[in-house]
Amino acid sequence: MSDAPATTQGAGPGRDGESPVLPDYDGGSLSAVMPALFSALAQDGSASTWVPTPLQGARQIVLLVLDGLGWEQLQAFARSAPTLASATGGPITSVCPTTTATALTSLTTGVAPSVHGIMGYRLRVDLDGPDSTRPGEVMNVLRWRTGRGDMRRRLPPPQFQKVAPFGGRAVPAVTRSEFASTGFTAAHLTGVRLFGWSVPSALVVNVRRLLGGGEHFVYAYYDGLDKVAHEHGLGDHYLQELTTVDRLVADLLGVLPAGAVLAVTSDHGQVEVGGATRLPAPALFDMVELFSGEGRFRWLHVRPGALHDAVDVATEAHGAEAWVRTKEQMVDEGWFGGSLTPEISGRLGDVALVARAPVAFLDPADTGETRLMGRHGSLTSAEMAVPFVAFAAP
Burial of 307 (0-12, 13-18, 19+ CB in 10 A): middle
233: left (phi over 0), alpha (psi -120 to 50) or beta: left
pLDDT score for 132: 65
Domains in the chain, ordered, with CATH? Answer: 30-114+154-272+379-392 (3.40.720.10), 274-373 (3.30.1360.180)
Tens digits of pLDDT across the chain (394 residues): 644 433 333 333 334 458 999 999 999 999 999 999 999 999 887 889 999 999 999 999 999 999 999 999 999 999 999 999 999 999 999 999 999 999 999 999 999 999 999 999 999 999 887 666 678 899 999 999 999 999 999 999 999 999 999 999 999 999 999 999 999 999 999 999 999 999 999 999 999 999 999 999 999 999 999 999 999 999 999 999 999 999 999 999 999 999 999 999 999 999 999 999 999 999 999 999 999 999 999 999 999 999 999 999 999 999 999 999 999 999 999 999 999 999 999 999 999 999 999 999 999 888 667 689 999 999 999 999 999 999 999 8
Q: Smallest Cα–Cα separation from 387: which of 272, 271, 267, 254? A: 267
pLDDT score for 353: 98
CA angle in degrees (0–180, nearest 5) for 110-142-74: 65
Render 132-177 in DSSP notation, one character per residue. Answer: --S--EEEETTTTEETTEE-TTTS-HHHHS-SPGGGG---EEEEEG
Render 29-77 in DSSP notation, one character per residue. Answer: BHHHHHHHHHHHHHT-S---TTS-GGGTT-SEEEEEEETT--HHHHHHT
Classify strands 260-265 and 88-93 as parallel, antiparallel or unpaired: unpaired
pLDDT score for 130: 66
What pTM did the predictor assign? 0.94
* Count helices and strands in the chain by DSSP H and E runs: 15, 19
Q: HSE on the CB side for 34, CA within 13 Å?
A: 21
pLDDT score for 1: 60
pLDDT score for 133: 63
